[in-house]
Amino acid sequence: MRTRRSGLARFSDFRLLVAADMKVADAHARTNEIEERIEKRFPGASITAHAEPCRHLCTELCRSGCLLSPDQPQPIPAAALPQSA
C-alpha cells in the first residue's frame, strides 16, 4: 500500500493479490471491503485499489504477510476463503 498527502487531501493505493481461481466479482468485493475500512479510518481519502491473481513471484516481504503454506507455495483456493455476502 502506498499513501501520500497533498495539502489536506490523502491518497492511498494498493494492489491485492488473490487466488488465481477467485471470481472477479469476489475479488472486487474484497477490494471494496478494504477501501471501506480505509475510508472509515481516513474520511475523504482518495483510494485506488487493484486486484490481480497471485502468480507466485514472491519476495520475502510478500511471503511474510501471505496466507500460503510455507511448505507448499500454492495459493489457497478461492473456495476455501470466506465468501462475501
- Per-residue pLDDT tens digits for 18-75: 888 888 899 899 899 989 988 898 888 899 998 988 877 777 766 676 765 555 445 4
Rounded average pLDDT over 67-84: 50
Using alpha carbons only, how large is the chain's radius of gyration in Å?
15
Q: Which residue has the cell 471494496?
A: 32
Contacts of residue 24, defined as CB under 8 A and 6 or more positions apart, other chains included, come to: 51
The full set of domains in the chain, from first to last, is: 2-78 (3.30.70.1350)
pLDDT band at 79; cut points 50, 70, 90 = low
